[in-house]
Amino acid sequence: MAIPAFRFAPSPNGELHLGHAYSALLNVQLAAEAGGRFLVRIEDIDTTRCTPELAEKALADLAWLGLSWEQPVRVQSRHLADYSRVQERLAGMGLLYPCFCSRREIVANADPARRDPEGQPPYPGTCRALPCSAVEARIASGEPHALRLDMGAATIDPAALAWGDVVLVRKDIATSYHVAVVTDDHLQGISHVVRGKDLEAATAIHVVLQRLLGYVTPHYHHHELIGDETGRKLSKSEGASSLCRLRAEGVTPAEIRRALGFA
């Protein structure tokens, strides 16, 4: 049997806060208990929000907390070709279609009675019905488009169908969180995904992709999110939970571990 593998996968679109520290520490603890590996992955495909400086800062914060992880760290923005290959496989199954809609058009055409698990109107399917000739003409004219998964053709799982036809290739970044996370968990042999409850509903999408691609579905555990309460207990300033700021105030890694319930 392969050694269990756990990962902490921050997106460097802001500073790490106590919620991240909790997630990372929990992964480390569970990996240690399972005699497993612990990896850190930088999820920076969204170049509209992530920066290399914030990625460096995140790693420095984790090191300051006393964590160590396997090298090299996988940085998603350096592996876009891996995500393209996966997208091509899904396209080859006839499960992706181009979508030209703007956010405004989606809202205007959406069924007001329906909401996806994040509370947004699911995609109304407008571009799924476009004739091939129209699609080809619009692509040829250079009109920007995303690629959506035809969820109804991909699965019968109600939890995934509730999301509607999710975007798998964004207009602006040529891939998506869903594709990148599923690809990397597979390529890195991740056996246990431990992350916050905010991502629990999205797991249904990830499982659909894993089945289509023939990947093993890892064990999933979604932990409670750490609120500002813990930050207030530790911090001198109001609502501070950024690790950087706590550190600057003189809070020690040991105090952070204790406050988060790790002795």
218 binds ligand GLU (CB under 6 A): no
Closer residue to ligand GLU, CB minimum distance, 80 or 199: 199
4, 6, 10, 251: residue in contact with ligand GLU (rule CB under 6 A): 10
Q: Based on the residue annotation, tell me whether 171 is a catalytic residue of this protein.
A: no
Q: How far is the CB of 9 from ligand GLU (least distance, A)?
A: 4
**Total binding residues toward ligand GLU, as defined by CB under 6 A:** 7
DSSP assignment letter at 122: P
Closer residue to ligand GLU, CB minimum distance, 11 or 175: 11
Identify the H or E element spanning 22: helix 18-33
- The C-alpha atoms of residue 149 and residue 159 are separated, in whole angstroms, by 15
**Among residue numbers 13 through 42, which ones bind ligand GLU (CB under 6 A)?**
none
59 binds ligand GLU (CB under 6 A): no
Q: DSSP secondary structure string, 140-190?
A: HTT---EEEE-HHHH---HHHHTT-S-EEE-TTTSS-HHHHHHHHHHHTT-
Closer residue to ligand GLU, CB minimum distance, 23 or 99: 23
Bond into 122 cis (ω within 30): no
213 binds ligand GLU (CB under 6 A): no
Binding mask 173-202 for ligand GLU (x = CB under 6 A): --------x-------------x---x---
Q: How far is the CB of 120 from ligand GLU (least distance, A)?
A: 17
Identify the H or E element spanning 148: strand 146-149
11 binds ligand GLU (CB under 6 A): yes
Closer residue to ligand GLU, CB minimum distance, 9 or 205: 9
83 in Cβ contact with 179 (< 8 Å): yes
Q: How far is the CB of 180 from ligand GLU (least distance, A)?
A: 9
- The C-alpha atoms of residue 112 and residue 208 are separated, in whole angstroms, by 26
Measured CA angle at 12 (ends 11, 13), to 5 deg:
95
Identify the H or E element spanning 152: helix 151-154
Query: For binding to ligand GLU (CB under 6 A), which residues are involved?
Result: 9-11, 43, 181, 195, 199
Catalytic residue numbers read 236
